[in-house]
Amino acid sequence: MTIQTIDAIPLSHSLDGRALGSSRGKTDTRFTTLVRAETEDGLVGWGEAFAPPRTVATAIDELLADEIVGMDPYQVESLVTDSYTGSLVDYHFADGPFVQSAISGVDIALWDILGKLTGESVTRLLGSGDVSSVVPYASTGYFTSWGQDIEEPMRAAADEEFTAVKLKIGRGVEDDIDRVSTAREILGDETQIMVDFNGNYTPKQARRSVAALEKYDLTWVEEPVPAENLSGYRQLTPELDIPVAAGEAHYGRFEYKQLLDERLVDIVQPNIGRIGGLSEARFIAKLAATENIPVCPHVWNGGVGVAAALHFYASLTTYPHSENVPVLLPFEFDRSPNPLRDELLEDPLDPRGGELAVPDGPGLGIDIDEEALERYRIE
């Protein structure tokens, strides 16, 4: 059995001028790239790359397609390794977000095919099978172009019965305190709260903010300093009692190895659509386990990418912990408007009520709404 066709499908949706985002910037567009792979026997697998859509579609067409067509899908785990050795992509261009995002989309599509071929879910193929749901957290509380009050998304998360919520901060300590104290007041003492600085602070600014927020019992603080400021993490992480999470803007096994070996963070957050796919995420999860560092994926993807991350998360082992210590952190579920997440799947994933079911499979366990796909396809 070999892959006969591989298609990259760029998708985009305008938020009609209503921009939202983080302390470092806002976007008025949601985009993604779907990957559709089909075998000679007509099995179709779907993947998703998290990167600017035309860019990554070009990378797939120009750099990968010729190598993928004719490939046995059981060779999926060789994709990233072959990109580094030079047998998949010229090694001068293998590293970095766009090529690895393109590989991610292909990798996920091939895992979906393997699931359909064997009749098993991706979770089971990755080595687990007894986790049928996870606890989702509402990723919300964005900075917006219309100046949305933080109360509104916090009340929405409470109404939807989330038991964990993450909000954006990082525009000054006073504003951080204002947002987090409001969130805690609305969500109550039982809800887990995480905050995301999106790397907008220096280490000293971050230290001041985290000290001021300590009384609000945060589960983690995310990207307190820029991703590339490794010396900042080296300085800050050991000083803080609150776990430091990062990884959404880090790429690949070599960069992650440094994060893990030096314990620059307490939680790593690979994006499955960008890190090199499910295969590379699994590689990194095993590296992380050797350093006793939890993995909790970054998920700001469309429906296919969310499903892939969900299968990956459900497959993680508890090593080195026992079942008596909870190690699985809540799973990210973005609550900002995004039809590429909510309309692309025939059965949209529903995180409300404090529980998120893992699709049964086979494969990713999803069906694509082809009309929705055409609605958001761009040239």
Footprint on this chain of Mg ion (rule: CB under 5 A) = 196, 222
Nearer to Mg ion, 281 or 366 (CB): 281
Decide: helix, strand or coil at residue 305.
Answer: helix
Q: How far apart are CA 255 and CA 263, in angstroms?
A: 12
Strands 136-140 and 164-168: parallel
Nearer to Mg ion, 121 or 139 (CB): 139
Provide the minimum distance between the beta carbon of 249 and Mg ion in the complex, in angstroms, as a whole number: 8
Nearer to Mg ion, 21 or 129 (CB): 21
Provide the minimum distance between the beta carbon of 150 and Mg ion in the complex, in angstroms, as a whole number: 17
Nearer to Mg ion, 167 or 316 (CB): 167
CA angle 9, 15, 16 (to 5 degrees): 120
CA angle 49, 27, 268 (to 5 degrees): 50
Provide the minimum distance between the beta carbon of 166 and Mg ion in the complex, in angstroms, as a whole number: 8
Provide the minimum distance between the beta carbon of 248 and Mg ion in the complex, in angstroms, as a whole number: 5
Provide the minimum distance between the beta carbon of 332 and Mg ion in the complex, in angstroms, as a whole number: 8
Provide the minimum distance between the beta carbon of 251 and Mg ion in the complex, in angstroms, as a whole number: 15
Provide the minimum distance between the beta carbon of 83 and Mg ion in the complex, in angstroms, as a whole number: 25
Closest residue to bound Mg ion by CB = 196
298 in active site: yes
Nearer to Mg ion, 39 or 140 (CB): 140
Nearer to Mg ion, 223 or 343 (CB): 223
13, 250, 298, 311: which is the annotated catalytic residue?
298
The answer to whether 122 and 115 have CB atoms below 8 angstroms apart is yes
Strand (E) positions, 88-153?
133-134, 136-140, 143-144
Side chain identity, residue 210: V
Supply the residues annotated as catalytic.
Answer: 298
